[in-house]
Amino acid sequence: MKRTSILVAGVGLAVLLAGCSDSSDSGGSATGTSSKASPTSAAAQSLDLSRFGTLPPVPVPVAPTVDCSYPAGRPPAKDVTAPSATGVSTAGTVAVNLTTSAGPIGLTLDRAEAPCTVNSFVSLAEQGYFDDTPCHRLTTEQGLQVLQCGDPSGVGTGGPGYGFDTEYPETAFAANDPALAEPVVYPRGTVAMANSGQPGSNGSQFFLVYADSVLPPNYTVFGSISEEGLATVEKVAADGDDGSMSAGGGKPNTPVQIETAKVG
């Protein structure tokens, strides 16, 4: 699966959020190595987020459990086994605490939003998959302000060796609804999955939204970030990125290494 560029309609900001891509292209070819983030464009500075829609309400789960599917894909970036796929709960939340080199980042994962995603993330955390792994991409322009993590290889193409389908907010729309192509605001504090734009390409890469960001509703929202965690990410963002990724952003100038990811 090739990485897919997404043009935020009417904004002129080319953005890329790739998950477990099957392409050998890391998407990180250098476009410059500035010591700070690239200057924000005039278009980004004038971006009016009120022009964009909001995320739809989370659908009420139709059953207390669901069955998920985690088919095998390319070899994993770090040895791990796929989670159990049957009888996955759709109720309640799960706390995951990331200890990072930049500071603590607390996450609250919501099973009602995305039970299969939460099930996978918790399984990976419990197996130590995220331990000693980098957050490989930071974007700082208004309209896309996220820190992306979850690839043990650190190049942006690694995954857990399996994939799965996108959940909320995509599942809140009818199939082929034109609204799926219309950008909406992913609010500050959102935790969402990265993907390559192809069906079943969710894996282990996720992004932390530290300021309201504009994306089509094709990236699974599965939780929220603590205020302490947002302070950690904002501190990293203030130092900018190295501009090394052609689609925007680059490695954070302040490296972020997830030391441990603990459930509960």
Q: What is the pLDDT of residue 239?
A: 97
Assign 45 a pLDDT band (cuts: 50, 70, 90): low
- Spatial contact of 192 and 16, defined as CB atoms under 8 Å apart: no
104-130 pLDDT, tens digit each:
999 999 999 999 999 999 999 999 999
| Sign of the C-alpha dihedral computed for residues 183, 187, 188 and 191 taken in this order | negative
Angstrom CA distances, 155 to 26, 56, 150, stand at 6, 32, 10
Tokens of 48: 């009016």
186-204 pLDDT, tens digit each:
999 999 999 999 999 999 9
Give backbone dihedrals phi and psi of 211, rounded to 5 degrees, phi first.
Answer: -155, 150
- Spatial contact of 107 and 96, defined as CB atoms under 8 Å apart: yes
- Spatial contact of 208 and 136, defined as CB atoms under 8 Å apart: no
First CA to last CA across the chain, in angstroms?
34
Assign 207 a pLDDT band (cuts: 50, 70, 90): very high
Per-residue pLDDT for 26 more than 60?
no
Q: What is the pLDDT of residue 247?
A: 82
Enter the pTM of the model. 0.86
**Between 17 and 111, the higher pLDDT residue:** 111
Q: Which domains does the chain have, with CATH numbers?
A: 6-55+65-263 (2.40.100.10)
